[in-house]
Amino acid sequence: SSSSFFFSSSSSPLLLLFPVYQRKLADLMAAGFPSPEMHDIMLDVHIYHCFGNNWQSMSLAQHLEAAKTGEGHLPDFDELLASEYEFAVTEWSLKLPTWTPTLRLEWEALSIQER
What local confidence, expressed as pLDDT, does residue 3 receive? 44
Q: Residues near 7 by Cβ (< 8 Å), separated by ≥ 6?
A: 14, 15
The yes-or-no verdict on residue 50 having pLDDT over 60 is: yes
Q: Are 4 and 11 in contact (CB under 8 A)?
A: no
pLDDT in tens, 94-114: 677 676 778 888 888 888 888
Residue 13: its pLDDT value, please? Answer: 56
pTM reported for the whole predicted model: 0.63
Q: Is the pLDDT of residue 7 over 80?
A: no
Tens digit of each residue's pLDDT (9 = 90 or more) over 66-100: 878 878 888 888 888 898 888 888 888 767 767 67
> Between residues 79 and 23, which one has the greater pLDDT?
79
